[in-house]
Amino acid sequence: MSYHNIFDSHAHYNDERFRSIQEETIRHIRENGVAAVLNAGCDMPSSYSGLELTRRYPFFYCSVGIHPHDAENWSESNLEELAALAGEEKVVAIGEIGLDYHYDFSPRGRQKEVFEKQLLLAQELSLPVIIHSREATADTLELLRRYRPKGVVHCFSGSAQTASEILSLGMYLGYTGVVTFNNAKKVLEAVKVTPLDRLLLETDCPYMAPVPYRGKTCTSDMIALTAEKIAQIKETDVQDLIDIANRNAHICFGIPE
């Protein structure tokens, strides 16, 4: 089946894995139903190169921010740099920011500190956030409750209960190819409690390729497989779901339709 109007709300086309195939891949997704892409920043270089992508490809948007993996390299000047970048027209969010206690690449105290600084920045700039949370649910929820940002918890793979708590804060949930994995039972329960108007579709490409491409380089058009799985759970038409998720992304990131 082929679909149109796909909004990939979380991608990394400036990732190393796309280096030699970036242009042909972006042409490929454009020809295969992808109408918009939000390229997420992880550190300063990827925040700058994400902005470059939006200049080269009119259907691209981007976010800027420091991922918890990189929290250790935070310097105070980053705040000003991020604020300046955030003033650019196609920069629609601060992210991805958050906590990652799976890899613990940076000490947890440092991760929290850098997360909080960027939550405050988003608040000051009235921008939504893109949250990365891995094995850090309690601490992430605590900070979301404290700062009450707008935005999305991306690559959501938690329980229905955690989903409900995030939804009650008014945030969106971003679902990736993880919903197609064999061990996806828990996240499918979360999908069930997520209202259609609070759900975003994303790839997190080049990572998280859905079944049957698991482990391969993921591209935004593969969102179709994620959408098919979610549509089946929600008992809705796949193209309708893609259209709703597209509209949700526009609303979540304040992008005029």
Interface stretch with Zn ion, choices 36-44, 73-81, 106-114, 142-150 (CB under 5 A)? 36-44
Of 205 and 224, CB closest to Zn ion: 205
Give the CB-nearest residue to Zn ion: 204
Q: Which stretch binds Zn ion (CB under 5 A): 141-149, 203-211, 232-240, 244-252?
A: 203-211
Q: Closer CB to Zn ion, residue 144 or residue 239?
A: 144
- What minimum distance in Å lies between the beta carbon of 252 and Zn ion? 16
Site for Zn ion in 38-77 (CB under 5 A): 40
Measured between alpha carbons, how far is 63 from 84 in angstroms, rounded to an integer? 12
CB of 12 to Zn ion, least distance (A): 6
Quick one: three-class SS letters along the chain? CCCCCEEEEEECCCCHHHCCCHHHHHHHHHCCCEEEEEECCCCHHHHHHHHHHHHHCCCEEEEECCCHHHHHHCCCHHHHHHHHHHCCCCEEEEEEEEEECCCCCCCHHHHHHHHHHHHHHHHHHCCCEEEEEECCHHHHHHHHHHHCCCEEECCCCCCHHHHHHHHHCCCEEEECHHHHCCCCHHHHHHHHHCCHHHEEECCCECCCCCCCCCCCCCCHHHHHHHHHHHHHHHCCCHHHHHHHHHHHHHHHCCCCC
Contact call for residue 100 and Zn ion (CB under 5 A): no
Q: Which is nearer to Zn ion, 40 or 227 (CB)?
A: 40
Q: Out of 8, 100, 204, 221, which residue is the one contacting Zn ion (CB under 5 A)?
A: 204
For the CB of residue 96, give the shortest distance to Zn ion in the complex, in Å: 5
Q: Looking at beta carbons only, is 173 or 239 nearer to Zn ion?
A: 173
Least gap, CB of 239 to Zn ion (angstroms):
26
Residue 33 or 174 having the CB closest to Zn ion: 174
- Total residues contacting Zn ion by CB under 5 A comes to 2
Q: How far is the CB of 2 from Zn ion (least distance, A)?
A: 26
CB of residue 11 to Zn ion, shortest distance in Å: 8
* Sheet arrangement for strand 91-100: 6-11, 34-39, 60-64, 91-100, 129-134, 151-153, 172-175, 199-201
Q: Please, which residue, 39 or 239, has the CB nearer to Zn ion? A: 39
Binding site for Zn ion (CB under 5 A): 40, 204
